[in-house]
A and B are shown apart, each in its own frame.
With several copies, the nearest count.
Chain A
Amino acid sequence: MSHPYIPNSVERVKREMLSYIGVSSIEELYASIPEEIRFRGKMNLPEPLKSEYELYRHMREILSRNITCEDYLCFKGGGTWPHYVPAICDEIAGRAEFLTAYAGDPYEDHGRWQALFEFESLMAELVDMDVVTVPIYSWGHAAGTAMRMAHRINGRREVIIPRTISPERFLVINNYVDPALKLIKVDYDRETGMIDLEDLKRKISRETAAVYLENPSYLGFIETGGKEICEIAHDSGAICIVGVDPSSLGVLEPPSHYGADITVGDLQPLGIHMNFGGGLGGFLATRDEEKFIREIPYRMFGLAKTVKEVEYGFGDVLFERTSFEKREKAKEFVGTAAASHGIIAAVYLSLLGPKGIRELGEAILQRSMYAMKVLSSIDGVKAPKFRAPHFKEFVVEFPERKSVEEINKELLKEGIFGGIDLRKHFPELGNSALYCFTEVHMKEDIDKLADALKRILG
């Protein structure tokens, strides 16, 4: 019986085609594969669920073993954050045309080019820089590229990064810049979480290719010393790279305003579902300065005119930088990464507009500050741990009598995913967890968390 996914599996058609080709069996078409390496065994795979209904039933059954963040309250962030995804983002992401397009040319896939050009342009406004690339895998990868760009520009081999960086992201960057660059961690102020400027000055040198900082930081505080840090970096000839959560940019200054040469970050907060951590999309922005642009490895879609007047066309700017053109001589490499997340982010930013993005920032600030208020009213709880302004996330320190792990287990029973346990990566912070509050948390949710914690700790 012919399979619905394989039209030419119909026997009659197979025979017709074989006869056109002039061979008697498909086997003959594999004649270039020597018998010694041919796989003649049977792959041990489950019996197929050929009818769509059986497949659906099987998948529904297996997926019902998950509990989602719509079933439970989720206060986890740390690189993938719970946000509300507008229905129109899903609608556009799900359009068959966008979903199943690949590397179409500027003519027959004009829509895809325009959408990604608009992504670049909208992000450029958000970070207030002139150049944004087509999206890349993730924040970590984009940060790694920014550091390698710095290295290619100034030839130096060290990058200073904050000790408060996300452990996930650190591992990504660390592998990506190895062996070209060495990462040096700068310490933080135990009171405020901020980068220790004295330590920075100690560690910076003529070998420093770049200084990297994040705003808001992984631990949720706002690095208010951005300007000083960038100045220190620039003074010693280093490039300043800032990683940023774009959902903060309605209320926080974009890094370009305090000295960033390259801004990177993740698109996930901009209308992309968490997808078990699969919702990432890195962005990279810089100035319209050749020195920088020629070192960007990713694709950049640029506007152009066609032979017809008043018609926008699009194409690749400086395509010869890329590995498609230059193989190992290229600036790093480029391939399938996260284009559709870029289109979704474009839809999201178009929906929010300047007022929406500001309201989003305010809404997140309101939730976090309210959460600080009610959580810190619980006996023995310190929220936030750092004396600093925060955005979206902050460290909550619990009394030692119950470990974060135990607390989280008990929260789970109440239908709550508690904050991220920080003890493995930040033992110096004590019995602490990283809590995340966004526009999806209404007062009743935060009160429910506080009530549960009171019971658990009480």
Chain B
Amino acid sequence: WEEPIVFELSNEGERGILIPVDDKIKREVGDVLSSIPEHMRRKDPPRLPEISQMRVLKHYLRLSQETLGADLNIDIGQGTCTMKYSPKVNERFVSMVRELHPYQDEETVQGALEIMYKLDLFLREISGLDRFSFQPGGGSQAIFAMASIIRAYHKKRGEDRDEIITTIFSHPSDAAAPAVKGFKVITIYPDPETGIPDVEALKAAVSRRTAGMIVANPEDTGIFNPRIKEFCDIVHEAGGLCGYDQANANGIIGIVRARECGFDMGFFNLHKTFSSPHGCGGPAVGALGVRKELETFLPVPVVDYDPARKLYYLNYDLPDTIGKVREFYGVFPVVVRAYAWIMALGEEGLKEVAEIAVLNNNYVMHRILREIRGADISYPANKRRIEQVRYSLKKLKDETGVGAEDVIRRMADFGFHLWTSHHPWIIPEPLTIEPTESYSKEELDEYIEALKEVFREAYEEPETVINAPHRSVIHKIEDNSWFSDPKKWSITWRLFLKKHGGKL
């Protein structure tokens, strides 16, 4: 499809849908617009396009076909948070909770509350933590909630601590969200050989200013920090709290838990490890769990059960609560899917998920290392990886001039996705592949074959890769000034019309 921008489809007079007018009401109330004072009444209608229904449908259907979802693709090139299979049956359940209002009387939402209550119980088992909230609308918001709890905790104790420690291969938001909460962020780098965060650097970093630590493990390199308990101990001894970024816990559910590692809190992205689909980037849930001692700091409300009334209810009575990080109780459809997914797998199934994710990842890593010239892993001295691997194409770049971004664009020609963003580029020319448990060996092989072909091209016909894509939906964007020059950037159609007269 060469589908136009929706405004270009406009044809004056066409209608996509009509609004229900109740003529009986209309007769009763007459001209309602005059109830609004003249100066608050909209004079010029918004310049939205006018399009008939079928054409609107067609437009967005075509755009959907120009998008590769995990349902269509072998999506292992996302990395750091590869989407797994989200069972279609879960969408049936989601459709049953669409029309629930958050302020309905508790008696009328017992099913919804029960699911939240039980998913909390499940996650307690999986993490070893003691209480979960589903309010954060994504991983970054969950990190922000952890930072908020750390602040509230020290404030309550009358301590003035303002430093948060993280590691460079933890998610960018592990640094960014605490900074928003007013913390100074100290970043620990890894041992250059093993890629494992440097415990000496941590020891040097902690102090009476240390409010806490927020880290992922395994990190985005796929490397698991084996001394994580020691890390937590060091922070605890310094008086800080330890927050675990378990956004992606896919390689370790049932294998290792926040509690045994020594964390005080942590979160899981339900739209990841627990299989809720990503919807192009949310809505989502970062399910936030804490130890008993921190329960009173959680955002309100949490779900409780009153055995006397035999009723699940929303409990707002958390004396130290940070308040809220998002209105209402979380993105409930995501909670429903995660609950259903765990119910479909059970204890052994969850462990199998982790094990196969790790097996798949190691299989892919070994194939790439053995068979693809120019590809290497980050910290090649350490081949132990859990659920993903950050690769480095430094050698390819040096030898051919073809870099990570070129390979990414060329993979699009094969109908595959590889994700660009692994900033800052500590690992030169980085690519991250995380296969999850959802793909068969045949599919992993298919992906690797495509990658192999692109690397072959890089050596034999580098222009093909550098000028890619050739047969994807669109072609290469070379002029990046439209993204950085205030005179050119066109963040909306109206700006494009203003700045470029609607011409490319």
Inter-chain contacts of A67 with B (CB < 8 A):
104, 108-109
Given A66-B111, A80-B101, A128-B46, also A9-B352 (CB < 8 A): yes
Which of A46-54, A201-209, A230-238, A450-458 forms part of the interface with chain B? Answer: A46-54
Contact between A305 and B327, CB atoms less than 8 A apart = no
Asked if B203 CB lies within 8 Å of chain A CBs, one says no
Contact between A6 and B492, CB atoms less than 8 A apart = no
Inter-chain contacts of B475 with A (CB < 8 A):
306-308, 311, 313
Which of B29-37, B205-213, B455-463 forms part of the interface with chain A? Answer: B29-37
Nearest-Cβ distance from residue B425 to partner chain A, whole angstroms: 10
Tell me the bound Cα distance from A98 to B41 in angstroms: 37
Inter-chain contacts of A118 with B (CB < 8 A):
5-6, 493
Contact between A227 and B39, CB atoms less than 8 A apart = yes
Nearest-Cβ distance from residue B64 to partner chain A, whole angstroms: 4
Asked if A338 CB lies within 8 Å of chain B CBs, one says yes
Inter-chain contacts of B418 with A (CB < 8 A):
105
Contact between A365 and B494, CB atoms less than 8 A apart = no
Contact between B281 and A175, CB atoms less than 8 A apart = no
Asked if B307 CB lies within 8 Å of chain A CBs, one says no
Contact between A104 and B417, CB atoms less than 8 A apart = yes
Contact between B360 and A8, CB atoms less than 8 A apart = yes
Closest to A372 in B: B29
Asked if B243 CB lies within 8 Å of chain A CBs, one says no
Tell me the bound Cα distance from A126 to B97 in angstroms: 29
Contact between A29 and B46, CB atoms less than 8 A apart = no
Contact between B20 and A53, CB atoms less than 8 A apart = yes
Given A2-B13, A12-B13, A110-B473, also A275-B424 (CB < 8 A): no
Nearest-Cβ distance from residue B140 to partner chain A, whole angstroms: 3
Contact between B419 and A103, CB atoms less than 8 A apart = yes
Asked if A154 CB lies within 8 Å of chain B CBs, one says no
Closest to B6 in A: A118
Which of B79-87, B287-295, B390-398 forms part of the interface with chain A? Answer: B79-87
Given A86-B89, A104-B67, A274-B101, also A365-B33 (CB < 8 A): yes
Contact between A304 and B479, CB atoms less than 8 A apart = yes
Interface of chain A residues 117 through 140 with chain B (CB within 8 A): 117-118, 120-122, 124-126, 128, 130-135, 137-140
Nearest-Cβ distance from residue A42 to partner chain B, whole angstroms: 6
Inter-chain contacts of A14 with B (CB < 8 A):
356, 359
Contact between A277 and B495, CB atoms less than 8 A apart = no
Contact between A305 and B35, CB atoms less than 8 A apart = no
Partner pick for B441 among A13, A26, A132, CB 8 A cutoff? A13
Nearest-Cβ distance from residue B147 to partner chain A, whole angstroms: 10
Given A352-B16, A357-B46, also A45-B108 (CB < 8 A): no
Partner pick for B29 among A11, A56, A252, A370, CB 8 A cutoff? A370
Inter-chain contacts of A94 with B (CB < 8 A):
91
Asked if A426 CB lies within 8 Å of chain B CBs, one says no
Partner pick for A412 among B105, B122, B363, CB 8 A cutoff? B105
Contact between B64 and A337, CB atoms less than 8 A apart = no
Contact between A38 and B255, CB atoms less than 8 A apart = yes
Tell me the bound Cα distance from A48 to B301 in angstroms: 29
What's the tally of chain A residues with a CB closer than 8 Å to chain B? 224
Partner pick for A121 among B109, B346, B494, CB 8 A cutoff? B494
Contact between B415 and A7, CB atoms less than 8 A apart = no
Interface of chain A residues 21 through 39 with chain B (CB within 8 A): 21-23, 26, 29-34, 36-39
Asked if B239 CB lies within 8 Å of chain A CBs, one says no
Nearest-Cβ distance from residue B264 to partner chain A, whole angstroms: 15
Given A2-B15, A7-B440, also A21-B362 (CB < 8 A): yes
Tell me the bound Cα distance from A408 to B278 in angstroms: 38
Asked if A198 CB lies within 8 Å of chain B CBs, one says no
Inter-chain contacts of B317 with A (CB < 8 A):
none
Contact between A341 and B283, CB atoms less than 8 A apart = yes
Contact between A34 and B226, CB atoms less than 8 A apart = yes
Closest to A27 in B: B355
Closest to A166 in B: B327
Contact between B104 and A362, CB atoms less than 8 A apart = no
Inter-chain contacts of A74 with B (CB < 8 A):
101, 104
Contact between A108 and B412, CB atoms less than 8 A apart = yes
Nearest-Cβ distance from residue A393 to partner chain B, whole angstroms: 12
Inter-chain contacts of B421 with A (CB < 8 A):
103, 324-325
Nearest-Cβ distance from residue B473 to partner chain A, whole angstroms: 4
Asked if B373 CB lies within 8 Å of chain A CBs, one says no
Interface of chain B residues 256 through 275 with chain A (CB within 8 A): 256-257, 260-261, 269, 271, 275
Inter-chain contacts of B359 with A (CB < 8 A):
8, 14, 17-18, 21, 26, 29
Nearest-Cβ distance from residue B35 to partner chain A, whole angstroms: 5
Inter-chain contacts of B137 with A (CB < 8 A):
137-138, 141, 280, 337-338
Closest to A319 in B: B483
Asked if B52 CB lies within 8 Å of chain A CBs, one says yes
Residue of B68, B107, B408 with highest tally of chain A CB at under 10 A: B68
Contact between B101 and A362, CB atoms less than 8 A apart = no
Contact between B343 and A46, CB atoms less than 8 A apart = yes
Contact between A50 and B101, CB atoms less than 8 A apart = no
Contact between A45 and B144, CB atoms less than 8 A apart = no
Inter-chain contacts of B62 with A (CB < 8 A):
111
Inter-chain contacts of B49 with A (CB < 8 A):
122, 350, 353
Partner pick for B323 among A175, A307, A310, A323, CB 8 A cutoff? A175
Chain A proximity mask over B477-504: 1 for CB below 8 Å, otherwise 0:
1111011101001111111101000001
Chain B proximity mask over A417-437: 1 for CB below 8 Å, otherwise 0:
100100000000000000000
Partner pick for A275 among B13, B98, B353, B493, CB 8 A cutoff? B98
Inter-chain contacts of A333 with B (CB < 8 A):
140, 143-144, 172-173, 176-177, 179-180
Q: Which 8 pairs across A and B sit closest by C-beta, in order of nearness? A: A277-B328, A48-B346, A335-B140, A277-B102, A111-B66, A340-B279, A339-B281, A323-B176
Given contacts A72-B108, A96-B57, 16 further A-B contacts (CB under 8 A): A6-B438, A9-B437, A22-B366, A76-B103, A78-B103, A84-B20, A91-B88, A100-B279, A102-B81, A131-B492, A175-B299, A179-B151, A302-B483, A302-B489, A309-B504, A359-B19
Q: What are 10 A-B pairs with beta-carbon distances under 8 A?
A: A2-B13, A6-B438, A12-B13, A66-B112, A88-B88, A100-B279, A102-B81, A111-B63, A121-B492, A306-B474
